[in-house]
Structure 1
Amino acid sequence: MMVGSRRSAVILLSLGLLLLGHAAGPAESSAPPLVSRCVLDGMVDAGSSSYLADCVRRAHEAGHQALLVRLDTPGGELESTRDIVRAFLGARVPVLVWVGPSGARAGSAGVFITLASHLAGMAPGTNIGAAHPVVGLTGQDPEEAGGKEMARKIENDAVAFVESIAKQRGRNVEWAISAVRQSESVPAEKALALHVIEHVAPTQEAFLAWANGRSVTVADTPVTLRTANAQVVELQPSFSQRFLHALAQPAIVYILFLIAGLCIAVELTHPGLFAPGITGVVCLVLALLASSALPVRTGAIVLLLLGVALLVAELFITSGLLGAAGTVLLVLGGVFLVDRFDADWFVDSPLRVPLRTVLPTAVFVAGAAIFLAFRTAQTRRRPQLAGDVGLMGEVGQVLDAVSPSGGEVFVHGERWAAVSSAPIPPGAHVVVRRVEGLTLFVDEVKP
Structure 2
Amino acid sequence: MKWITNIILVLTWATVSAMPLNAGTVQQDTTGETNVTVITIKGAIGPTTTNYITRGLENAISNNSQALIIELDTPGGLLNSTQDIVQEMLASEMPIVVYVTPSGGNAGSAGTFITLAAHIAVMAPTTTIGAASPVSMGGGQQDTVMQKKIFNYSESFIENIAKERDRNAEWAKSAVRDGEAITETEALELNVIDLIASDLNQLLVQIDGMEVEGKTLVTAQATIKQLDESFAEKFFGFIMRPEIMLILTMVAIYGIVGEVTNPGAIVPGVAGVIALILLLYGSAAMPINVAGFILIGLAIVLFVLEAFTPTFGILMTGGAVSFFLGALMLFQDFPQEMQLDWYWLVPATILMVIFFGWIATSGIKAQFTGHRTGLESLIGKKAKVIDKVNEKSGRVMVSGEYWNAVTEGEEIKSNEWCEIVRFEGLTVTVKPYTPKKEIDHGVS
1:138–1:226 CA distance, 2 compared to 1 (3 A): closer
Tell me the residue number matched to 2:433: none
Q: Equivalent residue of 2:99, what SS?
A: strand
2 CA distance for matches of 1:32 and 1:301?
54
Q: CA RMSD of the aligned region, Å?
A: 3.6
> Structure 2: which amino acid aligns with 1:332?
L
Q: CA deviation at 1:135?
A: 4.7
Alpha-carbon offset, residue 361 of structure 1: 1.2
Unaligned runs of 5+ in 1: 392-403, 405-420, 422-431, 439-447
Residue 200 of structure 2 corresponds to 204
The 8 Å contact of residues 138 and 350 in structure 1, kept in 2 or not, is answered as no
CA contact (8 A) 1:44 1:75 kept: yes
Deviation at 1:373, TM superposition (A): 6.6
> 1:390: Cα distance to partner?
10
Shift of 1:389: 10
Distance, in Å, in 2 between the alignment partners of 1:351 and 1:280 is 25
CA distance in 2 between partners of 1:179 and 1:375 (Å)? 57
Which secondary structure does the structure 1 equivalent of 2:400 belong to? strand
Partner of 2:160: 164
TM-score (norm 2): 0.74
1:44 is displaced (CA, Å) by: 1.8
1:353 to 333, 337, 340: 340
Structure 1 partner of 2:325 = 332
Quote the residue 1:147 is aligned against.
144
Q: Residue 317 and residue 259 in structure 1: after superposition, are their counterparts in 2 closer, same or farther (change >3 A)?
A: farther
320-329 or 352-361: which moved more? 320-329
How many percent identity over aligned positions?
A: 34
Give distance in 2, aligned partners of 1:27 and 1:136.
47
* Deviation string, structure 1 residues 93-144 (Cα, Å, up to 9, x no partner): 221111111232111111110001111122233211111211579665xxxx
SS of 1:37's partner is strand
User: Does the 8 A contact of 1:262 with 1:308 survive in 2?
Assistant: no
2:344 equivalent to 1:365: no
- Report the alpha carbon displacement of residue 437 of structure 1 after superposing the two structures with TM: 6.9
Partner of 2:48: 47
| Distance in 1, Cα, partners of 2:236 & 2:361 | 40
- After superposition, the Cα gap between the structure-2 partners of 1:437 and 1:124, relative to the gap in structure 1 and judged at 3 Å, is farther
- After superposition, the Cα gap between the structure-2 partners of 1:320 and 1:64, relative to the gap in structure 1 and judged at 3 Å, is same
Tell me, in whole angstroms, the C-alpha distance in 2 between the residues paired with 1:162 and 1:378: 59
Contact 2:40–2:71 (CA under 8 A) maintained in structure 1? yes
Report the Cα offset of residue 84 of structure 1. 1.3
1:46-445, aligned counterparts within 5 Å? 46-135=47-136, 140=141, 145-148=142-145, 150-213=146-209, 215-218=210-213, 221=214, 223-315=215-307, 319-340=312-333, 347=335, 349-372=336-359, 387=374, 434-436=400-402
What is the one-letter code of the residue matched to 1:174? E
In the TM superposition, what is the alpha-carbon distance from 1:53 to its structure 2 partner? Answer: 1.8
Deviation, 1:311, is 3.0
Q: For 1:376 and 1:217, locate their aligned partners in 2 and report how far apart those are by CA, in whole Å.
A: 67
Q: Which has the higher contact order (CA 8 A, sep 6+)?
A: 1
Retained in 2: the 8 A contact 1:258–1:308?
no
User: In the superposition, relative to structure 1, how do residues 379 and 295 fare at CA in structure 2: closer, same or farther (>3 Å)?
Assistant: closer
**Any unmatched runs of 5+ in structure 2?**
379-385, 387-396, 405-444
Work out the CA distance in 1 between the residues paired with 2:139 and 2:87.
30
Q: Quick one: structure 1 residues 19 and 203, their matched pair in 2 at CA, closer, same or farther if it must change by over 3 Å?
A: closer
Following TM superposition, by how much is the alpha carbon of 1:49 offset from its aligned partner in structure 2, in angstroms? 0.7
2:26 is matched by which residue type in structure 1? Answer: A
Distance of 2:402 and 2:21 partners within structure 1: 110
Deviation at 1:272, TM superposition (A): 3.3
C-alpha separation between the residues in 1 aligned to 2:137 and 2:72? Answer: 22
Cα gap change, 1:135 to 1:271, in 2 (>3 Å): farther
| TM-score of the pair, normalised by structure 1 | 0.74
Structure 2 counterpart of 1:354, one-letter code: D
* CA displacement, residues 37-91 of structure 1 (integer Å, 9 cap, x when unaligned): 1112222222111210221121022111211101112222223212211222222
Q: CA deviation at 1:356?
A: 1.0
Change (3 A) 1:293 1:42: farther
Question: 1:378, 1:292 → 2: CA distance?
Answer: 35
